[in-house]
Amino acid sequence: MTISSIFLVALFSLIYGNAVLPIEATHHVYNLQSLSTYSSKQPYRTAYHFQPLKNWINDPNGPLWYGGLYHMFYQYNPKGAVWGNIVWAHSVSEDLVNWRPLDHAISPSQPADINGCWSGSATILPGGKPAMLYTGIDPNKHQVQNLAIPKNMSDPLLREWVKSPKNPLMAPTIANKINSSSFRDPTTAWLGKDGYWRVLIGSKTNTRGEAIMYKSKNFVNWVQAKYPLHSAEGTGMWECPDFYPVLNKIPFAFGLDTSVNGNDVRHVLKVSLDDTKHDHYLIGSYDTAKDNFIPDKGFEDNKSVLRYDYGKYYASKTFFDDGKNRRILLGWVNESSSVADDIKKGWSGIHTIPRAIWLHKSGKQLVQWPVVEIEKLRMNPVYWPAKKVKGGELLQVAGVNAVQSDVEISFEVNEIGKAEVLDHWIDPQILCSRKGAAVKGAVGPFGLLVFASQGLKEYTAVFFRIFKYQHQNLVLMCSDQSRSSLNKDNDMTTYGTFLDVDPLHEKLSLRTLIDHSVVESFGGEGKACITARVYPTLAINDKAKLYAFNYGTTAVKITRLSAWSMKKAKDN
């Protein structure tokens, strides 16, 4: 046995109390800082969203707070702007806004991950020790689960990681009847009162999506539970599952460690559906005796299945920020440009602004809001007094960088009697497509036009429209990309959702983060989120304009508008 092998065995034995294990393979590390930098003057490159210097990025992996720093790991292709050659890249931050790149943390090196190091999660073990469970692709192209830990626990940057010589720790076999091509993306593990760790792996059996559970006493030797934590017929592959507790009492916004449970706790199960490429979540109860999750409403109720984000958003992951006692949500936003355009610009993919996430006081849904740290980038504020906006009126928001800004606006609606009537239920995204910003209505559309060109040949509209449905007022929130670009090679899908607010008794609030090629919008103080990627050809740099508008026949009142230009973050 070599000295390095003895070191690895001793290290894992010390941390996990195991005896001698097989030898680990060599771990090759790429140097991210040696990569050349593409010009930040590209019109579509973001200024304050997370993205690496170049190449392909997708899922956030293993985020955690450790040693006074936030650590972001992410799926990355060091060789190009398309998916492939996947490693875990690594960046650190003091504030979730400004990021410093480090060498890659996990790259193919063992038989258990020789064909790729796919998504996974961080767990903080007793004593504050981080551990990563992640999916590797073995020589047979089977998906298996592996473990890596920091080589030096005293290094706050966690620059070097070593893999368990016992990898893979979990693998599909004929005996466990797990599909070897549908077994991936382990969650953060949680510790039960019985002393066993539990972790979920996304999978499917035929068309039934599943969150397969494994248990372990020492975090190395894992045994499959008899039943999944939860499953649902017809949902397909469950990627990137996430399972965590939320506080069901004041203060709702407080986050909880993943292992916490109790009378004042509900649980959230999130899955990324491979068939739809959307992130859905269920709120419910966790039966610890049966290791079973019972959702308040399940996937069979299509109208009630909630999403984190109703736009372009996938493969999200949360972590508990014990430094500020909150749960943080991170998500991947793919491009809407063509592959040829991605290769030309040399990069593909960004992450959304980190969001604090908590249970709404109603208990019916989650609330999301950009982390407060992003506000340190605000500058040159513009404030409007309350003003009435007549039907058909368009008001320019001057004095703000229209391609790099943060805008908060609230509307008051006093006349709803003439609202359009919906005689049957319709998918809100389809409704937004049919009733876009250019379609004048009775009460709405009203909201913001962003990335707008002179003469409005290009614009992206984020707006509200009010309907009557079964004698109730129904608020539709849309992000309309149908006129966002003259480049028809782009995906210009329009997105939408219904917003759970009472427009007669609540302000209709909208916060929109605008950043060169991304529009993140938060309606109803974070009850609904829509993220869009847009690539205008005319409305770029100083040619872009920002407007508030009302294209309905009924006047509305802007009760508040606050807008800021945003400074550029030190982002990789």
The string of pLDDT tens digits covering residues 171-181 is 998 888 899 99
Q: Are 134 and 85 found together in one domain?
A: yes
Q: Is the pLDDT of residue 36 over 80?
A: no
For the stretch 334-352, pLDDT in tens is 999 999 999 999 999 999 9
pLDDT for 305 equals 85
For residue 290, is it within any domain? yes
The domain boundary, picked from 370, 401, 428, lies at 370
Which structure tokens are listed for 371? 């982390």
Is residue 522 assigned to a domain? yes
Domain end point (choices 347, 370, 393): 370
Buried b (16+ CB within 10 A) or exposed e, 361-371: eeeebbbbbbb
Residue 2, pLDDT > 50, answer no
> Residue 174: its pLDDT value, please?
82
Active-site residue set? 59, 138
pLDDT at 23 over 70: no
- Whether pLDDT at 32 is above 90: no
Q: What is the total count of domains within the chain?
A: 2
| Alpha-carbon span 150 to 162, nearest angstrom | 6
Q: Which of 370, 398, 419 delimits the end of a domain?
A: 370
For residues 350 and 430, state if they share a domain: no
Q: Are 239 and 248 in contact (CB under 8 A)?
A: no
pLDDT band at 571 (very low <50, low <70, confident <90, very high): confident
| pLDDT number for residue 35 | 33
**276 within some domain:** yes
Q: Do 490 and 507 lie in a common domain?
A: yes
Are residues 389 and 366 located together in one domain of the fold?
no
Split at pLDDT 50, 70, 90, the class of 16 is low
Question: Do residue 72 and residue 139 come from a single domain?
Answer: yes
Pair 164, 38 in one domain: yes
State which amino acid sits at residue 195. G
What band does 15 get if pLDDT is binned at 50, 70 and 90?
Answer: low
pLDDT band, residue 437 (cuts 50/70/90): very high
| Per-residue pLDDT at 4 exceeds 80 | no
User: Is the domain of 312 the same as that of 259?
Assistant: yes
Kindly state the tokens that stand for 535: 């690539």
- Rounded CA-CA distance 292/225 in Å is 11
CATH of the domain at 117: 2.115.10.20
User: Could you tell me if residue 50 is inside a domain?
Assistant: no
CATH of the domain at 469: 2.60.120.560
Same domain, 285 and 213: yes
pLDDT over threshold 70, residue 37: no
Query: Which residues form the domain of 514?
Result: 378-566
pLDDT in tens, 355-403: 999 999 999 999 999 999 999 999 999 999 999 999 999 999 999 999 9
Scanning the structure block, which residue is given the tokens 């709405």?
444
Which amino acid is present at 74? Answer: Y
What is the spatial distance between Cα 155 and Cα 454, in angstroms, rounded to a whole number? Answer: 53
Measure the CA–CA gap between 43 and 536, rounded to whole angstroms: 9
Q: DSSP secondary structure string, 323-359?
A: TTTEEEEEEEE---S-HHHHHHHTEE-EEPPPEEEEE
Instruction: Tell me if 49 is assigned to some domain.
Output: no
The pTM of the full predicted model, rounded to 2 decimals, is 0.93
- Examine the pLDDT at 24 and tell me if it is beyond 80: no
Does residue 443 share a domain with residue 362?
no
What mean pLDDT comes out for the span 129-136?
A: 98
- Mean pLDDT taken over the chain: 92
Q: Are residues 323 and 400 in the same domain?
A: no
The per-residue pLDDT for range 515-564, each reduced to its tens digit, is 999 999 999 999 999 999 999 999 999 999 999 999 999 999 999 999 99
Q: Is residue 102 part of a domain?
A: yes
Quick one: what percent of the chain has pLDDT higher than 70? 92
321 and 396 belong to one structural domain: no
What pLDDT is stored for residue 300 in this prediction? 84
Helix, strand, coil content of the chain in percent (nearest 5): 10, 45, 45
pLDDT of residue 482: 97
Domain annotation covers residue 524 = yes
* C-alpha–C-alpha distance, residues 164 and 129, integer Å: 15
| Range from 267-276, 298-307, 452-461 carrying the lowest mean pLDDT | 298-307
Per the domain annotation, does 51 fall within a domain?
Answer: no
Residues 406, 272 share a domain: no
* pLDDT tens-digit map of 202-261: 999 999 999 999 999 999 999 999 999 999 999 999 999 999 999 999 999 999 999 999
